[in-house]
Amino acid sequence: MTTMMSAATTCTQPLLEAKHLQLSYGQQVAFHDVSLPIASGEIMAIVGPSGCGKSSFLSCLNRMSDLVPHCHVQGEIHFNGTNILSPRTDTLLLRRRIGMIFQKPNPFPLSVWENLALPLREHGLVKSQTSRRAFRQAIHQAIEAVLRDVGLWEEVKNRLHSSALALSGGQQQRLCIARALILQPEVLLLDEPCSALDPLASAVVEELMLRLRPRYTQVVITHNLAQAKRIADRIAVFWVQQHKGQLIEVGSTQQIFNAPTHELTAAYVSGGKG
């Protein structure tokens, strides 16, 4: 499992870079002209008021926007040097390498165990063992490890085989995080991962994100400015202007909180009570 080491060397070229990105739903432009480089290994937090296009932006980065009808993306996104918006991109591979966690938890209508075992088996992440039992054992270990990572193991270990839909909201969200992590992607996109979590669980997830920092590149949307402050290396601020989302400022966490250049940013970080 752990043989797959990350390539998170601090190279100067960004791992993931949006260039003049614009997304529209039908006629309505959700955001436009967003250029944002994301360096390998960093945690980039995206903040901004509701409806400014944060989720939409995130969904471009692994081409999830393809799934939304009438959704149209313009511009370029470079990942490891290739433009992933090109139609030739293998989206299966792309999404395997760029994992995503959604704003609303969306476990599959399967058991907790199957929710995790499914992607594991699908991607052949557990080496096929000599016996079926050993194979199952290996899967079990992987599942236990990742559930411990997200702090869910104790809560669900007795109900691994009952439906994931019967978990509480926070439990579901942590399960979804575990599901994304189990694939060990290079980049993790997190859309408000802690919004359904209590402080203890939030802390677990934050800790986890920090622990993953050297190995994974993470882009996280959060409404919790304190959280952004705690975990992010850099922060990008989105805003709605003339009914279109826009990236108004991006900078290191320190700079954004202590010396914002944009007045809206200043108002936001000071007014934000998160």
Partner 1 sequence: MSISQRPGLTVTALDRLLGFAMAATVIAVGLGFCWILGAIVAQGLGQISLAFLLAEPSNAGREGGIAPMLVSTLLILGVCLAIALPLGLGTALLLAEFTITDQRLGRLVRRSLDFLAGVPSIVFGLFGNAFFSQVLGLGFSILSGGLTLACMVLPLLIRTTEEGLRAVPPSYRQGAAALGLSQTTTLFKIILPAAVPGLIAGLVLGMGRALAETAALIFTSGYVDRFPRSLMDSGRALSIHIFDLSMNIPGGDARAAASALVLLTLLLLLNLLAGALAQRWANSS
Partner 2 sequence: MQTFEMSQLSSLRRAHRRDRILRHSLRLLGSITGLLVLLITLFVLQEAWPALQNLGFIRFWTDGSWHPLEGSFGLMPMVLGSGLIALGATAIATPLGLLSALFCQCYGPPLLVVPYRRLLELLAGIPSVVYGFWGLVVLVPQINRLHPPGQSLLAGTLILSLMILPTVALLAIASLAQIPSSYWQGAAALSLSRWTTLTRIILPSARSGLFTAVVLATGRALGETMAVLMVCGNVVQVPSSVFDPVRSLTANIALEMAYATGDHRAVLFVSGLVLLAIVAGLVVMAEGISNQGMSSESVIVHER
Ligand X SMILES: Nc1ncnc2c1ncn2[C@@H]1O[C@H](COP(=O)(O)OP(=O)(O)OP(=O)(O)O)[C@@H](O)[C@H]1O
**Angle CA(145)–CA(147)–CA(153) in degrees, nearest 5?**
105
Residue 125 touches partner 1, criterion: CB under 8 A: yes
Residue 77 or 269 having the CB closest to a copy of itself = 269
DSSP string, 71-99: EEEEEEEEETTEETTSTT--HHHHHHHEE
Chain mean position to CA 50: 18
Q: Is 176 exposed, middle or buried (0-12, 13-18, 19+ CB in 10 A)?
A: buried
Per the DSSP assignment, residues forming a β-bridge with 43 are 218
Name the minimum Å distance from CB 262 to partner 2.
32
Contact segment (CB under 8 A) with a copy of itself among 59-67, 75-83, 210-218, 266-274 equals 266-274
Instruction: Return the number of the residue (93 or 200) whose C-beta is nearest partner 2.
Output: 93
Indicate whether 119 belongs to the interface with partner 2 (CB under 8 A).
yes
Binding mask 190-229 for partner 2 (x = CB under 8 A): ----------------------------------------
Q: Which of 9, 87, 93, 273 binds partner 1 (CB under 8 A)?
A: 93
Longest Cα–Cα distance of the chain, Å, equals: 63
The answer to whether 74 and 29 have CB atoms below 8 angstroms apart is: no
DSSP state of 128: P
Nearest residue to Mg ion by CB is 55
Please give the full DSSP string across 243-268, using - where no structure is assigned.
TEEEEEEEEEHHHHHHS-SSHHHHHH
Q: What's the CA angle centered on 256, arms 251 and 261, to 5 degrees?
A: 85
Which residues have C-beta within 8 Å of that of residue 45, sequence separation ≥ 6?
A: 220, 221, 222, 228, 231, 232, 234, 235, 236, 253
Minimum CB separation of residue 132 from partner 2 in Å reads: 16
**The tokens of 186 are what?**
């290079």
Q: By CB under 8 A, is residue 64 in contact with partner 1?
A: yes
Between residues 40 and 55, which has the closer beta carbon with respect to Mg ion? 55
Amino acid at 198: D
Tell me, residue by residue from 34 to 63, as one string, x for binding to Mg ion by CB under 5 A and - for no binding.
Answer: ---------------------x--------
Near a copy of itself by CB under 8 A, which window of 37-45, 48-56, 140-148, 248-256? 48-56
Is 57 a binding residue for a copy of itself by CB under 8 A? The answer is no
In the list Mg ion, ligand X, partner 1, none, the entry touching 51 (Cβ below 5 to 8 angstroms by class) is: ligand X
Does 138 bind partner 1 (CB under 8 A)? Our answer is no
Residue among 128, 168, 258, 270 that touches partner 2 (CB under 8 A): 128
Question: Phi/psi class of residue 136: alpha, beta or left (left: φ > 0; alpha: ψ in -120 to 50)?
Answer: alpha
Binding residues vs partner 2 (CB under 8 A) = 3-7, 26, 62, 64, 66-70, 80, 90-97, 99-100, 102, 104, 106-110, 114, 118-119, 122-125, 127-128, 163, 165-166, 176, 179-180, 183, 186
